[in-house]
Amino acid sequence: MNTSSTFIWVAGFAVLSAIVNGVGIFAIVKYRAWAERTKTYFMCFAAGILISTPLMLALPQAIQKNSSSGFMAAGGFLFMVFSSRFVKYHAKKKTLAFGIIVAEGIGIHSFIDGVIYAVTFSVSIMTGFLAGTGLVVHEFAEGVITYLVFMEAGISKKTAIFYALLVASFTTPLGAFIAYPFLGNLSQSTLGLMLGFMAGVLIYVSASHLLPEAIEEEKEHSILAFLGGVGLAVFIVLSKLL
């Protein structure tokens, strides 16, 4: 794959991710009822794509490049499990401490999203496109949630908007632009290990984060949004393979 075109894809999705996250923040500020009503469908659709992409495409590609990538996928999943438990444990604290701890978790998560763009597009455009689409879609809901977290911490509306943009929107392009320059010098075997790790992260984000939160809301037709995400991923993969 051409290096310049790869960078354009990585940069494009990273910036789009930040924009969609910002739209989520704007929507919850200006149209709170609509944003809270629709965020579940965004999460379900994103969950469908993000659970399908690593299982059908990213993980098989990773194992093809390096047979040990399955262990890295498990490592990526466990990394997210323990980091999420750490955040949840400390988020029991109230007021501003609550907002700070959760913001750290969201910031790390968003930074990793950016790294995922860099890694997946370095493997192939289709892998990056599928993973990137799911991540971009879920950014709307993440923007909504991040703003609400800061409001719950008891800070002003303007400060909540600024912090939400800082930790949820801007960290994703930052992660992509920091990671991308290092990937060009990696062997295909090492890239396979990194892709395996990212596949584990994607599986966790979908199965243990997005989908449970969406199901908990019990919105009508939310399962259709989830199946729509799965269907889109299957269609794109099959159209490439057939």
Q: How confident is the model over 168-224, as pLDDT tens digits?
A: 899 999 999 999 998 877 888 998 999 999 889 888 888 887 777 666 666 677 888
Torsions phi, psi for 236 (to 5 deg)? -65, -40
Work out the burial of residue 242: count CB atoms within 10 Å of its CB; fewer than 13 is exposed, 13-18 middle, 19 or more buried.
Answer: exposed
Q: Is the pLDDT higher at 101 or at 43?
A: 43
Which pLDDT tens digit goes with each residue over 8-42? 999 999 999 999 999 999 999 998 888 888 888 88
Confidence band for 150, pLDDT divided at 50, 70 and 90: confident
Q: Is the pLDDT higher at 17 or at 145?
A: 17
Q: Is the pLDDT higher at 172 or at 5?
A: 172
Which pLDDT tens digit goes with each residue over 106-135? 787 788 889 989 998 988 888 888 888 888
Work out the burial of residue 36: count CB atoms within 10 Å of its CB; fewer than 13 is exposed, 13-18 middle, 19 or more buried.
Answer: middle
Q: Is the pLDDT of residue 1 over 60?
A: no
Confidence band for 156, pLDDT divided at 50, 70 and 90: confident
CB 211 within 8 A of CB 226: yes
Instruction: Quote the CA–CA distance of 139 and 179 in Å, as a whole number.
Output: 20
CA dihedral 133, 227, 239, 206 (to 10 degrees): 40
